[in-house]
Structure 1
Amino acid sequence: MIDMIAKEDPIISEEEAAQYDRQIRLWGLDAQKRLRGSRVLLVGLGGLGAEVAKNLILAGVKGLTMLDHEKVSQESCRAQFLVPVTAQGENRAQASLERAQYLNPMVEVRAQAERAEDQPDDFFLQFDAVCLTCCSRDLMVRVDQLCSKHNIKVFCGNVYGYYGYMFSDLGPEYNYVEEKPKMVKPSGDTNDGPKAKKAKVDPNETTMVKKTASFCSLKEALEVDWTTEKAKAGLKRTPVDYFLLHVLLKFRTDKGRDPAPQSSGEDARLLRQIRDDVLESMGLNRELLSDDFVSYCFSEMAPVCAVVGGVLGQEVVKALSQRDAPHKNIFFFDGRKGNGVVDYFGPQ
């Protein structure tokens, strides 16, 4: 028997039942109760963060805390629909609060204008899930390692022009339920012919199956040893976006920001140099990531934010409600091709 996560059993009022009627019909009352009893921390209120905030608020979590120390800029207004165009120069989290709360008054939405890096460990332990967007590698690894010790789910993501990704760590033993078609046992002896030898699927009935999945940490996912024979054998099946992610995370480590349109010339040269250094350190050929990648990774594009934010928000909802199979464990999206791919980079 798999024990589901024990949480407080929030009472769903008649008003909430009406508000979440479609969702309750979709994934059940118990799943909605688990979602309704969950508190989420969302770091980063750029275009991707706004999409995630919208999806979590509409889904009906108990509380959402939005944390961001950045200011609203003219560029951020293009992809961030929660901030008014008149809010330039204001804090992004605080400027997003009014519209975010308007989406669903039943959710407790808060805004904090502080740096995530400056928060003590205890701050992150208040939540059932932490979602980090537009953050540095060091911060994401720190929070992931901290939260994994306390059974707190961690999600990371970012959008770079046409590219986007999301990562999830739900722990070494994540329990969930999945709806499957019900198998009907063959009937007894009949006089019309031989007995049925196999169970059949009844398309009109379903049953809930309890399952368990194991997730690796972000540190493990990013520190694959590509010199091993096993890793080399899987290199052709590995999305090139994985190596692009390494380059972009290193850029943020070095510059303290993501590539910016206003400094595209300088940033493009630095990105290519980082590409060479990163792939060389992995023992891989620089040609694995062609030079033209620098033409497609500047700024946050609203359509890409919508796609990646939709996937990321849905994965948080699935994890908190413990309903349906989660992605395991990195989702990459390439807006040039209009497709996404999920891959696993932890221990096999």
Structure 2
Amino acid sequence: MTDISLSASEVALYDRQIRLWGVGAQTRLRQSRVLIVHLTALAAECVKNLVLAGVGAITIADDNRVNPEDLAAGIFFRDADIGEYRVIAARDRIQALNPLVELQFLQTIPLADTFTSYDIVIATHGSMHDFSVYNDMCRLGTAKFYAATLAGPYGFIFVDLQRHRFQITQQVSNVATKLGRSGRGEGKVIDVRTVDGDHTMEKVTREIQYSSLSQLAAASTATADTSLYPFLNVNLRRKTRLTGLITVLLALIETSVETTANDVERVLVRAQAISDTYTLPNQPVSDLLDLYGLSLSPVAAILGGVLAQDVINVIGEQQFPIDNLVVFDSINNGIDCPVFSIGSQ
């Protein structure tokens, strides 16, 4: 991140959120550089929240033009925009949300080897193979990576923050917070300090080591199934709350494929094998593949909000991040967004 401090106008504009998460977090937002790959309906919801929050510099890249389908869920598009490049059509409406944010709009997708110049890269369009390539390019540097896609009433967010450190302020418990590994999704405690002037509160610094999509795909061929996904080794009552969507997502990550007819069959076969291995009560949801990329406005709003909030939390370094797969199934789970931890430490 670039060393930039807040101006008086920024302090005035962001006063309420500074009171919520502090000057330090707001300054880190101001210093951050985010790349959005494709301005989908999901990305638009995320962009709106990031711009309003005061992320310093956001680059939005999309080589697609507005089509009639975009009008159904794309909050920045109007009838008159059909045929225009998405980024051109949305440019003024996005900038009007917050003139203090530095925005750049590209009508081409940047080469993946430029991803390392950003702090965070968010991709919301493409196959799991595309996402895996983007993820690997981010790992050539320190860029944190998000992949997210809608599929009608379904959706997912995958997160690879590489090695992420954050600090939680919490009440001092009767049981002392110990250094070392905590529960799944909580990472490793590396430092505990009492808050100055208040011995009832403590600051706990944690660290989570994430896995990339390609690392997870490689692990699936070298690890016994029952140890690869420990969160599926739960009792029957908890298993009934798992939908068949999770098995299809895991199979997509393992195979890292495009979405051709042959690939779909391969994914469903693997998803069924995962379901059988863990004796899950629900069948794999093939609709995820049939509807892959289809945007519904309510789903885009919910998942886009979750995505943007986690990006803000990660930049601010003061909240637990997503670790590392969010599964959204509005058919079976309503608006719940359960998080599954895969391969992180």
TM norm structure 2: 0.78
Mapping of residues 203-218 of structure 1, within 5 Å: 206-218=201-213
Residues of 1 paired with 2:43 and 2:67: CA distance?
15
Matched residue SS, 2:339:
strand
Q: Per-residue displacement from partner, 1:276-305 (whole Å, max 9, x unpaired)?
A: 444368695897315676787672111111
Size of the alignment, in residue pairs?
A: 310
CA distance change for structure 1 residues 71 and 252 in 2, over 3 Å: closer, same or farther? Answer: farther
Q: Show the counterpart of 2:69.
A: 75
Query: Could you say which residue in structure 2 is the equivalent of 1:196?
Result: none
Give the 3 Å change call, closer, same or farther, for CA 299–206 of structure 1 in structure 2. Answer: same
Aligned AA for 2:68?
Q
The aligned counterpart of 1:66 is 60
Are the equivalent residues in 1 in contact too, given 2:62–2:86 (CA < 8 A)? yes
In structure 2, distance between residues paired with 1:334 and 1:17: 39
Unaligned runs of 5+ in 1: 1-6, 186-202, 256-266
On the 8 A contact 1:275/1:289 being kept in 2, the answer is no
- What's 1:53 paired with? 47
Q: Which of 97, 103, 109 in structure 2 is aligned with 1:115?
A: 109
CA distance in 1, matches of 2:117, 2:23: 25
- 2:180 paired with 1:175: no
| Distance change (3 Å), C-alpha of 1:222 and 1:300 | farther
Q: Which residue of 1 aligns with 2:300?
A: 305
Per-residue deviation, 1:245: 2.8
Q: 2:341 — aligned with what? A: 344
User: Residues 188-213 of structure 1, C-alpha deviation per residue, up to 9 Å, x if partnerless?
Assistant: xxxxxxxxxxxxxxx99644322211
Alignment of 1:26-175 (within 5 A): 26-116=20-110, 119-121=111-113, 123-171=114-162, 173-175=163-165
Give the Cα separation in 1 of the matches to 2:29 and 2:10.
12
8 Å Cα contact 2:128-2:256 kept in structure 1: no
21-30 vs 132-141, which moves further? 132-141
Quick check: which has more Rg, 1 or 2? 1
What does residue 183 of structure 2 align with? none
Structure 2 equivalent of residue 240 of structure 1: 244
Change (3 A) 1:235 1:181: closer
Query: Which residue in 1 is equivalent to 2:16?
Result: 22
Distance of 1:232 and 1:37 partners within structure 2: 37
Identity percentage over the alignment?
29
Q: Which letter maps to 1:174?
A: H
Structure 2 CA distance for aligned equivalents of residues 332 and 29 of structure 1? 32
Moved more, 217-226 or 86-95: 217-226
CA distance in 2, matches of 1:110, 1:100: 11
* Contact 2:41–2:70, Cα closer than 8 Å, also in 1: yes
Using the alignment, how far apart are the partners of 1:298 and 1:42 within structure 2?
16
Letter in 1 for 2:124: T
| Unaligned 5+ runs, structure 2 | 176-197, 235-241
Partner of 1:253: 258
Give the secondary structure class of the aligned counterpart of 2:77.
coil
Q: What do you get for the CA RMSD once the two structures are aligned?
A: 3.4
Task: Please say which of residues 273-282 and 102-111 is displaced more in the overlay.
Answer: 273-282
